[in-house]
Amino acid sequence: MLSKLIKSIYGSDDHLSHAEQAHLASLSRDHWSRYVLTVMLPSIVGMLIGSIAFWFLTPKGYQAYTTLPVLSCALVYTMVALIHLKRPILAQWLNMPLIGAYIQCLFIGNAISMSALRLHSDPDYFLMTCVVYVVFGVLALIRMPISNGWMLLFCCEFIVFGMAGWGPSIVSSKGLAWFLIISLFSLYAVAVNASIHRMTRLKNLADYAKMILLQQNESLRRQSMEEELTLARQLQESLAPPITFLACSQGNLRYFQNRHGVTSGDWIAFRELPSGELVVAVADVTGKGLPAAMVAQTIHGLWARMLDHSQFEARQWLDEVNKTLKAMSYSASHTATLGILVISNLSMTYYSCGHIPALVTYQTSSGLKFKTMMAKGSIVGMTADLDLEPVTLNFDELAVESILLGTDGVFPRISRIKTKHVQHLLHELSAHGESALANMEVEDDKMLVVIDRNKPARLI
């Protein structure tokens, strides 16, 4: 019966899901913490000031009756506040007992004050005590952070102790009027308290539904982005050379790639011309992620346009790439470093548009050495003139063993590369393949082409 009465006053949570009930329970615990800061702490200050005022305004001999109840309530509220601030876990178990103690101090103490001042010669003090009892009691009931049977019990106590403080004249017409006053105010307090709890619960449920909706939208948005990035990666992978190993008249070519993200701004392409020359192009687009991948796709499209040509003019193609990226730069620049190797039977030529140098390893009497091929040229997409100055190496000058062309993810500081570093890199690539690039600590896209000279010619 009591349960039905409480549900009719404060509403029922039976129709809510377990997740909603758990959410409300969590907010209820948070509500106690907010109650300490917004209600208890200001009330403690107000009650201390009020006790001082009561001490000076109450007739001599009656100060204890009016002051002690207020000081007792301030003391209990102080204990609740300290426990919440210092021992929040313990506060969950002591909330109800301490709030109950506060209510008893408030009702019983003020009822005693009423009984004492009722005997005073001046009836105005008795009436003022009655007003204080009603005001303090109603405010306490309205702001009560409880929505269960204890609230109704405290309401009944408010009426009972109020009638007890009125004294023997309870059976008079004035006593009946007093009963009606405190009964109506107690009903008003219950109604306001229930309204506050109902509106708070509805707001919390609405916020919970909004939070769930936002989480679902975020999940769908993230899923959509992941799908788009997956498609972008699949598209970019489809643009990569169909083979990672090429054996031709100029040697064996291997390339390795490790993307830092889902998509990459690194691009590679190679082809063997009818004349027997091997052309290798490596680009590193400025920026990362999907924008860089789109620029790399543009470069790939320009490469694909000349695949049906029997000859390859590196200067002409680089100039076309530069003009295209320059023309694309409306609101933002699109630039890239680009390196091209053209290898023939007798020599190799390296064109660099801001790209890192190519490395050439060769054998000497003291062992494996390497040299850098430094070419000059502006970054594509930045200026109208690339100002190219390629560098050429004749194979009869050096016993070239391998040629390495990569991005700055593989050679972040090429000026500091030592022979042992190159030897270690080649060994790791032979032993672990692309995993060797992944083990590098550089947080960037990594791409590397290795051309081993003087190998048996075959095409895979």
User: In CATH, what number is assigned to the domain containing residue 301?
Assistant: 3.60.40.10
The kind and range of the H/E element at 154 are helix 149-166
**82 pLDDT more than 80:** yes
Q: What is the pLDDT of residues 414-446, one digit of tens each?
A: 766 777 888 888 888 888 877 888 787 777 788
Are 209 and 323 in the same domain?
Answer: no
Domain count, the chain: 2
Q: Which residue has the tokens 């091929």?
A: 373
| First-to-final CA distance of the chain | 85
Domain co-membership, 50 together with 198: yes
Is the domain of 64 the same as that of 177? Answer: yes
The residue ranking higher by pLDDT, 237 or 315, is 315
The answer to the question of residue 236 being in a domain is no
Q: Is the pLDDT of residue 175 over 60?
A: yes
pLDDT tier at 312 (50, 70, 90 boundaries)?
very high
Higher-confidence residue: 347 or 206?
A: 347
Using the 8-state DSSP alphabet, how is residue 39 labeled?
I
224 in any annotated domain = no
- Dihedral sign (CA 427, 430, 432, 435): positive
- Greater confidence (47 vs 183) lies with 183
Higher pLDDT, 237 or 221: 221
Query: Do 187 and 39 have their domain in common?
Result: yes
CA 224 to each of CA 179, 216, 219, 221: distance values in angstroms, whole numbers, following the listed order: 67, 12, 8, 5
Q: Where are the alpha helices (DSSP H) in 306-346?
A: 314-328
Q: For residue 411, is it within any domain? A: yes
Same domain, 367 and 274: yes
Residue 323 lies in a domain: yes
Residue 293 shares a structural domain with residue 340: yes
Q: What is the pLDDT of residues 363-381, one digit of tens each?
A: 887 777 888 898 999 999 9
Whether 13 contacts 22, CB under 8 Å: no
Confidence of residue 302 (pLDDT cuts 50, 70, 90): very high
DSSP 8-state assignment for residue 249 = T
- Domain shared by 164 and 310, yes or no: no
- Distance between CA atoms of 343 and 275, rounded to whole angstroms? 11
- What average pLDDT does range 59-71 have in this prediction? 89
Q: Check: CB of residue 317 under 8 Å from CB of residue 302.
A: yes
Per-residue pLDDT, 454: 66
Q: How confident is the model at residue 31 (pLDDT cuts 50, 70, 90)?
A: low
Least confident of 197-201, 299-303, 451-455: 451-455
- pLDDT class for 46, splitting at 50, 70, 90? confident
For residue 458, the model assigns a pLDDT of: 37
Are 293 and 424 part of one and the same domain? yes
Q: How many CA atoms lie within 13 A of 78 on its CB side?
A: 11
Instruction: Please state, in angstroms and rounded to a whole number, the distance separating the CA atoms of residues 403 and 416.
Output: 18
- 253 and 191 co-located in one domain: no
The answer on 427 and 282 residing in a single domain is: yes
Is the residue at 234 inside a domain? no
Q: How far is CA 357 from CA 46, 280, 303, 410, in A?
A: 78, 14, 21, 12
| pTM: predicted TM-score of the whole model, two decimal places | 0.57
Tabulate helix, strand, coil % of the chain (nearest 5).
Answer: 60, 15, 25
Claim to verify: residue 284 and residue 205 sit in the same structural domain: no
In a domain, 286, yes or no: yes
386 has a pLDDT exceeding 80? yes
Distance of CA 17 to the CA centre of its chain: 27
pLDDT tens for 202-233 read 888 888 888 888 888 988 888 887 777 777 66
* 233 falls within a domain: no
**Residue 363 placed within a domain:** yes
Tokens of 323: 């003009």
Mark whether 377 and 320 lie in a shared domain.
Answer: yes
Please compute the mean of the pLDDT values over residues 99-116 and round it to a whole number.
Answer: 90
Chain centroid to Cα 183, Å, comes to: 53
User: The domain containing residue 364 runs over which residues?
Assistant: 241-452
